[in-house]
């Protein structure tokens, strides 16, 4: 049986006999209890209180074993930094929600998109559907502009009657020619 060279740290228990913990038989080891995790599994270990975002649910956890709570994220198993997700539904049980990646699980995987912040990532439409939609929308806009220009062109004569300057020019020319030849009748 293993003897301790140092007394066990506070918030820990010493297993002098073998016990089944988390599907492993552990014999003669010190385990942190409650809301504490171990810094290592050797004689120099200490028990550290779990921070916000850590899911310290079991006895005998070391930092690498501690998952994030739902709504929290951490970059890797060695990180002490647990960050609250921008959208709690993006971070589920210590992992990113389906089709999400990146820091704080805020980005959709390649081939997925989100309509609004916080929405689930949905599969992107196929390229042919996107092209067809773009062409259809362009035709609709062109038709609408055509109707607007046609209506303006047709109503222009009604609202503002067109007058050609030729009548005025012809009258002036006639008067001028008359004045030159006939003593200024205009």
Positions of the chain with pLDDT under 50: 1-4, 23-25, 184-186
Q: What's the pLDDT at 128? A: 81
- The rounded distance, in Å, linking the Cα atoms of 128 and 105 is 29
Angle ∠(138,143,149) on CA atoms, nearest 5: 125
Asked if 42 contacts 16 with a C-beta cutoff of 8 angstroms, the reply is no
Which pLDDT value is given to residue 24? 47
The Cα–Cα gap between 148 and 121 comes to 39
């Amino acid at each position: 049986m293993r003897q301790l060279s140092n007394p066990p740290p506070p918030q820990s228990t010493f297993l002098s006999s073998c016990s089944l913990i988390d599907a492993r038989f552990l014999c003669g080891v010190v385990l942190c209890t409650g809301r504490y995790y171990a810094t290592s599994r050797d004689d120099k270990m200490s028990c550290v209180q779990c921070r916000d975002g850590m899911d310290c649910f079991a006895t005998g956890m070391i930092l690498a074993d501690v998952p994030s709570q739902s709504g929290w994220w951490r970059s890797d198993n060695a990180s002490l930094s647990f960050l609250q997700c921008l959208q709690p539904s993006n971070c589920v049980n210590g992992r990113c929600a389906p089709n999400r990646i990146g820091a704080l699980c805020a980005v959709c995987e390649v081939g997925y998109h989100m309509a609004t912040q916080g929405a689930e990532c949905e599969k992107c439409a196929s390229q042919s559907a996107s092209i067809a939609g773009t062409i259809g929308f362009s035709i609709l806009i062109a038709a609408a502009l055509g109707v607007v220009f046609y209506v303006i062109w047709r109503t222009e004569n009604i609202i503002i009657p067109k007058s050609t300057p030729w009548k005025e020019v012809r009258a002036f020319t006639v008067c001028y020619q008359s004045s030159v030849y006939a003593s200024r009748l205009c």
